[in-house]
Chain A
């Protein structure tokens, strides 16, 4: 999983039929340089090159921070009511699993953690 900022949305008309009704977002993963600059070996920051398209059924909006899961967890997140043994049907490999209220980053050697909230 990774922490990311929602920066946009994606629309499409022609798509796999099981994707009707699923919203797609563009997110940018946070790097160490964004969260704890003093720990980072080089400055990376947000980069236009690393946008990820993720499915969302929680209702996240642009500007919010989210946790994104990959793979099986992403597919199960989109179909929460599947019974045991039923396989997911949507061709998705990344999905929002949580909308972040707050995260806190502590840097070793500092008593007061460097906090951030959203």
Chain B
């Protein structure tokens, strides 16, 4: 999984039938810089069914982990290789060696 910030949404009418009804969000991947999280510059498209909105920090799951977010016994896999798996309330960063623990709450 990665940490990212939701920066927007994508709409498409022409798409694979197994993506019908799914909401696709633009997520800017984050990395640790000291005790802060900063964008890496990479942007991924992740499906969302938990109601993430622009500005939220989220975790994105990949591969079959992403499909598990959408699977149900009577529903074939959604065609996703990335899905938002949680909306982050807070996080703490331990800056290795410096002994600094910082907690953040969104």
Query: Which single member of A31, A69, A74, A97 contacts B43 (CB below 8 Å)?
Result: A31
Residue of B nearest to A99 (CB): B14
Give the A-B contact count at a CB cut-off of 8 A. Answer: 123
Chain B nearest CB from A62 CB (Å) reads 16
- The interface bits of chain A over 28-63 (1 if a CB of B lies within 8 angstroms of the residue's CB, else 0) are 011111011001111010000000000000110000
B19 touches A105 (CB 8 A): no
Give CA–CA (A113, B76) in the complex, Å: 35
Q: Are A1 and B82 in contact, with the CB atoms below 8 A? A: yes
Does B77 contact A76, Cβ atoms closer than 8 Å?
yes
Interface bracket on A? 35 or more
Counting chain A CB atoms within 10 Å of each CB, the highest count among B44, B76, B80, B81 belongs to: B81
Q: Is the CB of A1 within 8 A of B15?
A: no
Query: Is the pair A101, B79 in contact by a Cβ cutoff of 8 Å?
Result: no
Indicate if A92 sits at the interface (CB-CB under 8 A).
no
Q: Which residues of B are found within 8 Å of A67, using beta-carbon distances? A: 10, 12, 15, 24, 45
Chain A residues packing against B (C-beta within 8 Å): 1-3, 29-33, 35-36, 39-42, 44, 58-59, 67, 69-74, 76-77, 80, 84, 97-108, 113
